[in-house]
Amino acid sequence: MQGAGVDRDGVAVVVGASGGIGAALADQVRARGRFRAVIGLSRPGLDLTDEGSIARAAQRVADAGTPTLVIVATGLLHGPGVEPEKALRALDPAAMTTAFAVNAIGPALILKHFAPLLPKDRRAVFAVLSAKVGSVSDNRLGGWHSYRASKAALNQIVRTAAVELCRSHPQAVCAAFHPGTVATRLSERFAKTGLQVLEPAEAATALLDAIGRLTPDDSGGFLDRFGAPIPW
């Protein structure tokens, strides 16, 4: 990790550090040793459905230093009362609300409270884990309505934030990443045979290398783990 890693005065933040990919990202950012501190945030301290907890977490980060790398590695495909839908008849408003709360609104609130902490005078990266199934143009299989739609909403939120951020933070990069199919709690029941399934550490290495190569021209992008654009 070059660019994002040269700033020893900066603090790195991984939101969702309890998750499969989030834990691997936090471990590797620590191992690369290029930040003054690496702060992992997760429940119960930070709950995406509780804006107060996000604001308090942002204050704790601000007290620790200036964040120059923020990675949002949270997400929800299934959980209590939430199952990826196979057809319209399975749509449940409460489950859809939960998917949007965690996958779209929560990261938007992280942007709201953490983007103002980024430095205005040097490079900073705000990376959010999205999913390729959130691509509208790439959707040929259907299904997973809530997850797909909430990730599409997330992509638009990241893009909109990037437009705003580049005005005040010209060296900042704000981008959405697809990590690949990765062996975690989220995917274990759904990874199809024949699909390449990565270990979290492998995905984290590729993501951090790609994050290190980002330039402000990449801001607002929807990218794979190597930094290549994914169609919206």
Ligand X SMILES: NC(=O)c1ccc[n+]([C@@H]2O[C@H](COP(=O)([O-])OP(=O)(O)OC[C@H]3O[C@@H](n4cnc5c(N)ncnc54)[C@H](OP(=O)(O)O)[C@@H]3O)[C@@H](O)[C@H]2O)c1
Q: List C-alpha distances in Å: 42 to 16, 49, 86, 184.
A: 5, 12, 30, 16
Q: How far apart are CA 121 and CA 96, in angstroms?
A: 40
User: 3-state DSSP call for residue 127?
Assistant: strand
Closest approach of Cβ 163 to ligand X, in Å?
A: 22
Residues 11, 14, 21, 118: which binds ligand X (CB under 6 A)? Answer: 21
Residues 76, 118, 127, 153: which binds ligand X (CB under 6 A)? Answer: 76
Residues 156, 181, 224, 232: which binds ligand X (CB under 6 A)? Answer: 181
Q: How far apart are CA 90 and CA 156, in angstroms?
A: 25
Residues 8, 86, 185, 213: which binds ligand X (CB under 6 A)? Answer: 185
Which residues have C-beta within 8 Å of that of residue 193, sequence separation ≥ 6? none
Count how many residues are written for the chain: 232
By the rule CB under 6 A, 189 interacts with ligand X = no
By the rule CB under 6 A, 98 interacts with ligand X = no
By the rule CB under 6 A, 42 interacts with ligand X = yes
By the rule CB under 6 A, 139 interacts with ligand X = no
Closest approach of Cβ 34 to ligand X, in Å?
A: 22
Q: Which stretch, 16-24, 57-65, 109-117, 135-143, contacts ligand X (CB under 6 A)?
A: 16-24
By the rule CB under 6 A, 104 interacts with ligand X = no
Peptide bond connecting 84 to the previous residue in cis, omega within 30 degrees of 0: no
Which residues have C-beta within 8 Å of that of residue 35, sequence separation ≥ 6? 5, 7, 8, 10, 11, 12, 29, 68, 69
Q: How far apart are CA 6 and CA 48, in angstroms?
A: 30
By the rule CB under 6 A, 152 interacts with ligand X = no
By the rule CB under 6 A, 179 interacts with ligand X = yes
Residues 13, 26, 29, 48: which binds ligand X (CB under 6 A)? Answer: 48
By the rule CB under 6 A, 14 interacts with ligand X = no
Backbone torsions φ then ψ of 172, nearest 5 degrees:
-85, 150
By the rule CB under 6 A, 129 interacts with ligand X = yes
Q: How far apart are CA 138 and CA 128, in angstroms?
A: 20
Closest approach of Cβ 102 to ligand X, in Å?
A: 5
Give the residues lining the site for ligand X (CB under 6 A): 16, 18-22, 42-43, 46-49, 73-76, 102, 129, 131, 178-179, 181-182, 184-187
